[in-house]
Structure 1
Amino acid sequence: MGGPRASSLRELRPEDPTRIGRYRIEAKIGEGGMGAVYLGRDPDGRPVAVKVVRSALSDDRTFLARFHDEAANAQRVASFCTAQVLEHGEDLGLAYMVTEYIEGPSLLEHVTENGALSPGMLHGVAVGVAAALVAIHSAGLVHRDLKPSNVLLSISGPRVIDFGIARALDVASAHTRTGQVVGTPGWIAPEQITTQQVTPAVDVFAWGCLVAFAANGRNPFGQGPFQLMAARAVHAEPELGELPRSLAPLVQSALRKDPEQRPDARDLLLALVGGAAEADVTTELGEAWASPPPPDDPGATSRDVTARSAGPPPVTAAAPPAASPPPAASPSPAPAPVTDLAPDWPLERPAQEPKTEPAYERSTAPAAEQQFAEQQFAEQQFAAPPPVLPPVPGWTDGPGRRGGRGGLSRRTVLIASAMVGVLVAGVVAGGIYYFNRPSGEAENKAGPAAFPSAPMLVRIDNEAGWPKSCHADIGVYRPGEPAATKLIGGDRCEMLPEPSPDRSRIAFTRTGGGESEAWVMNADGSGAQKVTDIAGGRLTWSPDGERLAYMGKAGDTRQIFTITLQGHEVTQLTDDDSPKDDPMWSSTNKLVFWSEQDDVLQLYTLDPDRPRSAWTRLTKDGVRANDPEWSPDGSKIAYTRGPADRSTIWVMNADGSGGHALTTGGLHDMDPAWSADGRWLCYVRGELSDPVIRAVRADGTGDRVITPAGRTFGHPTWM
């Protein structure tokens, strides 16, 4: 949420918090299906929007995992044309997310009060929202609920808010019924309604609806209850009304029923900033991009606002012929949206009721048609297989509201031209960077890395108590399945599975009765054999698969040893008195591990073929570092960095250079492990007693929850 007008803010009530995390709460902005949004201040006094999840959802572990997952992803979205996500966490037993506070009305408010946008301002909104979608999609997110109330018209241009958060509610285990649609009728794509796969194409469809609405003051699929709106989105052609010549073809292509036939956000952006003729672009952008003046501007009048919406006559886009148009829709105020279908952040704002998305007036379609559509949707409940929706005859909702006409002053034109120049320059620069960045920076030339198809080895916790007590087996888990398949178990604790380089065997640690042992078994769980006694911790394979490295006791100190699987020949590699652990062997024959040799956990490497050789220190910033894991080619190391309760996953080069954060949750991230192709990492987030497995691309995008609902897994590694 951004910045509503001061008059729409609500004073805090006794049940409202006065502080969340490090933010002082000053007023309530609004509330909706997911929770409440507050105006807050950070310790430096800067305004922020603090979104607090309602308590019922805060008790849902699966929802919370997804909420933090999506919030962490949202933090990586470039802030241009979006409201930047600053932080997320939990306080007072509630989950919260903090975003940049954007001052300005929503597109819904502006169009409702002032009519359709002028061509210049319309083009600015189209460009800005397309740029925001490029940033959102390149971070691996899909907005899912793009609509006019989620676009704020700030002084610097349009800003998209609430991206990526709708998905959290979509998977809430205790609060989402089977087949529920997340989104708002009138702005969601056909494939969302028929519960097919959600891709970035749904946002492109919403972009087309949004631009048509901004140009005409009405939804291209008309008005009515959600059943009729949904049926029209699936079967009927949109009525685009009047659109500028440069926008009409793009909007038509964005609203195609088949998501595969729609352009992506990058195509939209390129066409908007460079695909039109120079004269057309000059005409489109020559007018003002300016949000309505702030409420405390004494010179602002309704005539000033109306003048901003003036412009040359637009081109009328072709619309499908109507069979028998029903009577014009009633101009009476629209009822509130159905919250089942719009579980987003504020659905309404205080002191502005009954203003809502203008797509919910009672339908004027024939009663039989409406009843049939409602019955079909009630029976199907949006569940798979997709419902067969009734074809909708032609319809019309009458002319949209247009802004009044008036001239622009010389001063207004000069200021507006400068602002439009900044907006377009920023979009073009962002587009140039996006299309020409190095291949490893977010997406390579082949596009984002597909999620690995290989299964994971996991520790399956059969009872609570980890890590004080262990009741675990080792199993194979394929992400997306409801449970793991046990490979080995018993009355002792099996943990820390590590596949051999050729994936034919698995080494693991077995504990019980105060003893720890190194074991090896075949990949299917057969042929398990004890290798040696150890001092606890994980095992790691040599590149040739003929040796294991492990932690063993030498006097009163744990040291790093190796042992051959044939002959059980033992070699001691270290002999100092510092605590150390987590040895990991690289494909280039180096061992990385952590040690407190320099009074803080730092990462070091040594040559396993030169016992008691000098170490090379990799991390030198004095921040706690552990859990090192080599990439498959030995060029990088992923590791856990930071205090245990606020740690994140970092990646650095093999020589210690180029260290950077891969995750941003700060909620005890640990135990990273690479996929076989080196393009994904899995890791664990959360309390040791209640871990959640997650996965993220090596470029930081696509972060997601892997653990199935109701299961507790740990120590993940891909086969």
Structure 2
Amino acid sequence: MMSSDAGVAARSAPLGPDDPHELGSYTLLGKLGQGGMGMVYLGRSGKGRLVAIKVIRNEAVGNPEFRARFRLEAETARRVARVCTAEVLDADPDAEWPYLVTEFIEGETLARYVQRNGPLADANLEQLAVGVAAALTAIHSAGIVHRDLKPANVILSPFGPRVIDFGIARAVDAGSNLTGDLQQLGTPAFMSPEQIESRPITSAVDIWAWGGLVAFAATGHYPFGEASAQVLLYRALHEEPQLDDVDPALRPIVWHAMRKDPSTRPSAQQLMLRLLGDPSGTGPDAAAAVNPQDVTNVLQGWKLPVPGPGAPATGTPATGSTGPHGAGFPAPAAAPVSSGYTVDQDAPTRLPASAGGPGGPGGGGADGPGRQGGTGRSRNRTPLLVGGGVVVVGAILAGVFALSAGGDGGSGTDAANPATVSGAPATSTQSAQSAAFTLPRAAQPLGKDTLVYASNRNGNYDLFTGQVTDNGPLANDKPIVTGPDQEMLPAISSDRKTIVYFKKGSPNTLQAIAADGSGKPVQLFTLGPAAKLTIADDARPSLSPDGGFLVIRSTTDQTGTLNPGLYVVKLDGSSVRRLNAKPQATDPAWSPDGERIAYWSNSTGGNRGFIVVIPTQPDAQPTPITQDQGNGDSDPVWSPDSRKIAFTRAKNGDLEIFEMNSDGTDARQLTRVRGDDQDPAYAPDGRIAFSGQRNPTNPDDRQLYVLNPDDLNDGDRKLTTTGGFNGHARWNAG
């Protein structure tokens, strides 16, 4: 249960006579703390959402360089994927009190937690190391250097560590001309030698601070001991960090991160490789990239030990909340404003739907000019430190859902009311629609051996479900949508209780129905900006794993203007965002981990082309993972673990089913029978169903088949026996 607004406000320090009580449309409720750039306030938006508001301190407002830095921060912070960070919601650098508004996150700072409970235990320490490295990967990928990473700027939220306070981060942009004393900003115990000596600042300063932060979490003391600021700075320049008490598995990684020469430190991605046991991450020149599918989900099962009897329930107010993170809570009102912030650990916050990291490999434009290298890694690495679970490296590296940020330009959305499109406030109609909209759902989910497909056995396309058995054709084969219309191209929700499908007509529409066929179908996209979309002929929808969005091909955008392409749309129709894909892109498939969308496109037109993958975050660039080989590839679909993609490829005059790694490597042919095999669909257990036209005397005869890609010796087995078309199968979610 979320903490009440009153409870949250009670744990903040009261506003003083010199504090503002309103900033723009935000009402201030209390003070959360003070940081290097100013004061952080607890506030409430006009929609009632609790937010953290960072305000430049009064004496700095008249400093043009400081204000310029704040403006730059507000612009660049929006580029940071919300991986172990907090979403930036609003900013006004030109206000009398310039401010930045961020998502509010509940949790206790690492500084306060260690002060109360001592060093982190092994599992939590490993999760912290990977989580902070993941956050730095996202921050650095946006071209930003944090500059003040420290224990007070890491929140131990109920869902894992969150790096906060980008108050002294700025984009590494040539020509920013923000030099001089600004480069000195940092905390002495975690400042790198180059910061101390006012040498050029790069992302390596954050890697140094990461090492010091992990050492602190592991031992409970600063990497260069306890001393005055001057002594700590001297030791950082001339002595080695104190790492004797750091876990032996972590010690060499931390030591490497804290090399005096910034050029010898690893990058954030290389830290991830080292933490996951890949020796290719040992050197600064290593060209390795972290493969999202190779990372174990260190945040899954994150749970901090409950403080023992007598431990204080809250800590001191935050000083580390001056950046694009939100903030936390201070201690009881009697406690002075100091370092670190604390909140009720038993009051979970909303888990952000983004995950993030790099905006995706650059493609030089929609669908990219060609294949981008460096994403493929062996999946046989044994993690050195991290054990158990499967990583959602959507949370670690790749692409934010951030799909609550409706709008073609990736504009932000108030998560309390995600009906914002292109940065414009939601209308009351959209808000009501969002609140009232529910998908039809079956009382019981489809069994994992049940697939959905289209068949024209009755003279028109209807949707059927059937149970795949160990041998023989489908069992319990039955219709779920029938009638005079042409209803095809189904997609299954991740809870297997809803089917979304394409209804061909004039105009074409998308429909949703309970997966057992009960109740009446519901038409999607009847209100809001999605109502202006024109669903393309034979367009297959694909659902996001969280069930809140789908991706579809449309020939018009949310204004009704001709703009063919792929669109990510909120199911209630309240937000629309066009993917950065070519106009001819089609057949999108959302990965089960939520990070990427695969589709096929081409350069010259035609029925096939090459397979492309694009991260789900706004403004991400696409990466072709197969080459344009005479319009040969189409129909991509993801394996349940998001590691593989099955697709159709033209081969020797036939169409065959192929499977490859999700980065395009190791493509192998799965079918070899004469005829046209296409439309693969993975089962939850990894088997593949597909449709095949293998009757040379009847070109209209298309049947469903199933094969096991891990044991091709068994060949494929026929699943349907009715005449006519049987295809468009979907077995797994998507």
State the TM-score, normalizing by the size of structure 1. Answer: 0.42
Max radius of gyration: which structure?
Answer: 1
